[in-house]
């Protein structure tokens, strides 16, 4: 499977039919929701939305719903809401990390400082829930609320685990689930709810989304060690400099005894982080981490097998799983 075929753009082209039109409607709705809250907040919220991104979560909403839900207003509301939540978390993450760039452009924090950035993130969160509430689905609001609570819990766990290389694999995977995968899960659930799917169908699609979300985060952590800056938009070892312990480091410590004794707080420069990345890679930890991610993707895709899906829907969702497995940035 080629990189072009597994990019979001490639998936949208392959899905065809209603999908490109719906994503365009979501984009229009995001722009409208970011505006109208005073010039300062509207500028920063609009800047955040305009910075773009993969729009993978809205795509999951649309694909999980299938063509039968294409004309329902709540589908656009749900797809916009999950992207607003995702954008809000990025704005808040940039505040916590004092990040000056996001997707190659200055962050809200860098442009306006802490207070406007926090307010912008809060605005995006609130607009997400007002959008879903207006659509009238209590189940959808509950699903997104569970996901946002998990995001906060995952962030707290990550802060608690900072600089601690002895973090066990199970706790690391829980962190991936809370901080990333639960929003993938909610995206699929919201799509299924918009399609008026039965509870078992909603649950199975949610499990699919949760699995590929865990794998997405795991491979993101692999890219932090392996990926060239030209593709990832950041220097190798950025997580290590922040004290964030990920699966490649956990595995490498098990295979390299001197590395197990390393105090991460001594890694204070980009050069030191690059050297540590090379040392982690030399243990085979990157290959082992990728293998674990592919196993998770395979298990997630198996959730689709018993479902009665619309024509082309299964193939499109499988392409999303493939895009996660093959991601290079």
Query: 66 near 316, Cβ under 8 Å?
Result: no
Please identify which residue in the block is written with the tokens 């690391």: 172
All structural domains of the chain, each given as residue ranges with its CATH number in brackets, are: 3-325 (1.10.600.10)
The whole-number pLDDT of residue 287 equals 97
pLDDT digits (tens, 9 = 90+) for 231-263: 655 678 989 998 999 999 999 999 999 999 999
Q: Is 228 left (phi over 0), alpha (psi -120 to 50) or beta?
A: beta
Adjacent-strand bridge partners of 218: none
Helix H or strand E encompassing 75: helix 73-97
Calculate what percentage of the chain has a pLDDT beyond 90. Answer: 67
pLDDT band at 50 (very low <50, low <70, confident <90, very high): confident
pLDDT for position 232: 59
pLDDT score for 3: 45
Q: What is the pLDDT of residue 229?
A: 62
At 236, is the secondary structure helix, strand, or coil?
A: coil
The Cα–Cα gap between 147 and 179 comes to: 9
Q: Kindly tell me if the per-residue pLDDT of 1 is higher than 50.
A: no
**Which distant-in-sequence residues (6+ apart) come within 8 Å of 209 by Cβ?**
60, 64, 181, 184, 185, 186, 187, 188, 189, 300
Question: Nearest CA to 181 among 211, 201, 222?
Answer: 211
Q: Quote the mean pLDDT of the chain.
A: 90
Comparing 318 with 3, the larger pLDDT belongs to 318
The DSSP string of 99-164 is -SEETTEE-HHHHH-HHHHHHHHHHHHHHHHHHHHHHT-HHHHHHHHHHHHHHHHHHHHHHHTTT-
**pLDDT of 141-198, one tens digit each?**
999 999 999 999 999 999 999 999 889 999 999 999 999 999 999 999 999 999 999 9
Residue 94 has pLDDT above 90, yes or no: no
Q: List, for residues 204-228, the tens digit of each pLDDT value.
A: 999 999 999 999 999 999 999 997 7
């Amino acid at each position: 499977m080629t990189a072009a075929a597994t990019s979001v753009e490639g998936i949208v082209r392959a899905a065809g039919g209603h999908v490109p039109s719906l994503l365009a409607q979501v984009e229009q709705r995001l722009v409208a929701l970011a505006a109208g809250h005073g010039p300062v907040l509207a500028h920063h919220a609009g800047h955040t939305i305009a910075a773009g991104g993969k729009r993978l979560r809205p795509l999951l909403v649309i694909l999980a719903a299938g063509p039968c839900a294409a004309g329902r207003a709540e589908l656009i509301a749900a797809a916009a809401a999950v992207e607003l939540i995702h954008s809000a978390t990025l704005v808040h993450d940039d505040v916590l990390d004092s990040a000056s760039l996001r997707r190659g452009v200055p962050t809200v924090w860098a442009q306006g400082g802490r207070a406007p950035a926090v307010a912008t993130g809060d605005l995006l969160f609130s607009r997400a829930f007002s959008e879903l509430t207006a659509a009238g689905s209590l189940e959808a609001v509950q699903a997104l609320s569970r996901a946002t609570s998990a995001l906060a819990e995952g962030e707290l766990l990550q802060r608690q685990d900072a600089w601690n290389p002895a973090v066990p694999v199970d706790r690391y995977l829980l962190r991936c689930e809370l901080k990333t995968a639960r929003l993938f899960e909610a995206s699929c659930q919201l799509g299924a709810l918009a399609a008026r799917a039965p509870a078992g169908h909603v649950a199975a699609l949610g499990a699919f989304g949760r699995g590929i979300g865990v794998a997405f985060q795991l491979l993101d952590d692999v890219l932090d060690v392996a990926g060239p800056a030209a593709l990832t938009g950041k220097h190798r070892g950025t997580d290590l400099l922040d004290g964030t312990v990920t699966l490649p480091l956990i595995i490498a410590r098990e295979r390299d005894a001197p590395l197990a004794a390393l105090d991460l707080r001594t890694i204070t420069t980009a050069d030191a982080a690059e050297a540590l990345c090379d040392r982690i890679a030399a243990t085979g930890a990157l290959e082992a981490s990728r293998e674990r991610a592919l196993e998770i993707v395979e298990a997630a895709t198996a959730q689709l097998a018993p479902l009665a899906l619309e024509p082309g829907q299964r193939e499109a969702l499988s392409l999303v799983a493939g895009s996660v497995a093959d991601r290079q940035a």
